[in-house]
Amino acid sequence: MNFKSISYFLGLFCFPISFLSFVNILYSSYFDYFLSIDAYFTTLLISLIVGYSLLYYGKDSQKKINYIEQILLIIIVYFLTALLISIPFYLSNNQVTFINSFFESISGLTGTGFSTFKNIKYLDPTLILWRSSSQWIGGLYFLFFLIIVFSNKKFNYKMISLTYSGDSSYSSQENIKSNIFKIFIYYCILSFSIFLLFNISGVRLFNSLNISMTLISGGGFLPTDSLNNIIQSNFQKIIFITSLLIAMLNFYLIFNIFNKKILAREHKEDLYNNSGFDLIISVISSLSNSGLTLIESDKLSLYFLFITIIGGSLISNTSGIKLTRFYILLKIASSEIIKLISPNSVINKTIFGSDKKITDDNVKISFLIFISFFLSLFILSSFLVLDNIGFEKSFKLSILTLTNTVNSELFNMEILNFANLLTTSKISLIIFMIIGKIELISIFLIFKKIIFKD
């Protein structure tokens, strides 16, 4: 393992946390929230020291790491940045334990939205802003990981080859800095646009800022105890739906909109996912793996859970087992049945009527992803059921964890108190929130590298 190069890149991921700390210091100073300002000064100082130390250690390295090392880097980034983000939670006046602080940080970074806080309205406004910021930076990091790391053709288990990438230079090594800059600019523009729309619609400034960071990242943290306290008018509901769709859209589609290159046939899967403009917020919220809702659901909770599994686009802040994988397996299964009935039939193997065709590798990967998902579901449920929360809640919570979706009224899970869970359950949820983002296959690849040293 090239630990020096990993250290160099790891150091770079610490500095955005320093910037967020500085922003919160300015916010605290401007609005006279001096009670918690020391926590952000501490975070700023520690993140700068850790970042520069890691950069210094890796400054003489080759600055080039292979795919397995990149996966390891992503996992370490999640844990290290979560440690830095947990500092203000731990040092706050809310008497938050270390494990709860770390749990809150990972939940924010992965956009899951599980929270150990029960009464959000009583939290320090700076801490509410910090929670939302953790989602925003986590969403940005995830876009970087998807386009730069998971676009590797050798390990194409996220099937990015099926996603339209326009100009191939988007994923080329020479243009990696340009790609990162473009992603950052578009991400900021979309975040600011959502913020302005909510502000214009009558949502108060503080709530507009926090919910814009939540929605663009596909997260679940809210600045209030209930979404109904923020979203009330029909215009606000339309903005809310649009924001969820933006987070769910294939990010290459955003690239093409800004570059005035729209090829509808290359975005068929996104059109299939996003045909829900006329559907209720709950369906779109499930599809976008956000879970935020304005209604309570009991009888339909399993239906919405199923939608979270198939929802989300590949190159976006959402997660889940992509609709394309369902489509591939169902189409191949039906094709095999047709072959048995009529061996001379001509089988159409195109994907959503596009120019791309289903290959044997696509089928194998889709099947492998399903197996790994249900394996993860079984393992996590087994840990959670020991916490005496019941089999049904364990099963639902496992699905929400692996799809990085908040436990809202939509799934009849809002009464679950994460602060009271066993430490083993919290650690299990932390690990599988990350696995929900990077896939269980990533872990297997790292173990294979360590054991066989190939």
Rounded mean pLDDT, 432-450: 83
116: pLDDT strictly greater than 50: yes
Q: Minimal CA–CA distance to 311: which of 436, 430, 209?
A: 436
278: pLDDT strictly greater than 50: no
CB 213 within 8 A of CB 133: yes
Burial 120-150 (b: 16+ CB within 10 A, else e): beebbebbbbbbbbbbbbbbbbbbbbbbbbb
- CA 275 vs. chain centroid, Å, equals 22
Separation of alpha carbons 410 and 295, rounded Å: 7
Which tokens in the block code for residue 40? 């952000």
Tens of pLDDT along 14-30? 999 999 999 999 988 88
What would the DSSP string read from start to end of 179-196? HHHHHHHHHHHHHHHHHH
CB 51 within 8 A of CB 11: yes
Separation of alpha carbons 251 and 267, rounded Å: 11
Tens of pLDDT along 1-11? 778 888 988 99
Where are the strands (E) in 373-419, listed by range? none
Rounded mean pLDDT, 60-85: 89
pLDDT, residue 106, reads 95
What pLDDT band is residue 347 in, cutting at 50, 70 and 90?
Answer: low
Rounded mean pLDDT, 101-130: 90
What is the three-class DSSP state of 233? coil
Rounded mean pLDDT, 218-244: 85
Burial of 260 (0-12, 13-18, 19+ CB in 10 A): exposed
256: pLDDT strictly greater than 70: no
Rounded mean pLDDT, 299-326: 68
Tens of pLDDT along 136-192? 999 899 888 877 787 777 777 777 666 544 444 444 445 667 778 888 888 898 899
pLDDT, residue 274, reads 40
Mean pLDDT of the chain: 80
Separation of alpha carbons 76 and 81, rounded Å: 8
Burial of 104 (0-12, 13-18, 19+ CB in 10 A): buried
pLDDT, residue 322, reads 65
110: pLDDT strictly greater than 60: yes
pLDDT, residue 183, reads 82
What pLDDT band is residue 101 in, cutting at 50, 70 and 90?
Answer: very high
Least confident of 37-51, 103-117, 128-142, 343-357: 343-357
Which tokens in the block code for residue 104? 């809150």
Burial of 407 (0-12, 13-18, 19+ CB in 10 A): buried
Say which residue, 298 or 205, is predicted with more confidence. Answer: 205
Rounded mean pLDDT, 121-149: 89
247: pLDDT strictly greater than 70: yes
Beta bridge partners of 357: 350
Least confident of 184-188, 275-279, 328-332, 431-435: 275-279
Least confident of 204-208, 245-249, 255-259: 255-259
What pLDDT band is residue 354 in, cutting at 50, 70 and 90?
Answer: low
Separation of alpha carbons 407 and 397, rounded Å: 7
Rounded mean pLDDT, 332-351: 73
Q: Minimal CA–CA distance to 312: which of 179, 387, 405, 445?
A: 405
Which tokens in the block code for residue 414? 């809002």
Tens of pLDDT along 30-58? 878 777 889 999 999 999 999 999 999 98
Burial 273-285 (b: 16+ CB within 10 A, else e): bbebeeeebbbbb
Q: Minimal CA–CA distance to 405: which of 301, 263, 327?
A: 301
Q: Which helix H or strand E contains 397, and what residues bound it?
A: helix 391-402
pLDDT, residue 345, reads 65
pLDDT, residue 271, reads 42
Share of the chain above pLDDT 90, in %: 29
223: pLDDT strictly greater than 70: yes
Least confident of 109-123, 148-162, 288-302, 358-372: 288-302
Least confident of 79-88, 148-157, 214-223, 280-289: 280-289
258: pLDDT strictly greater than 90: no
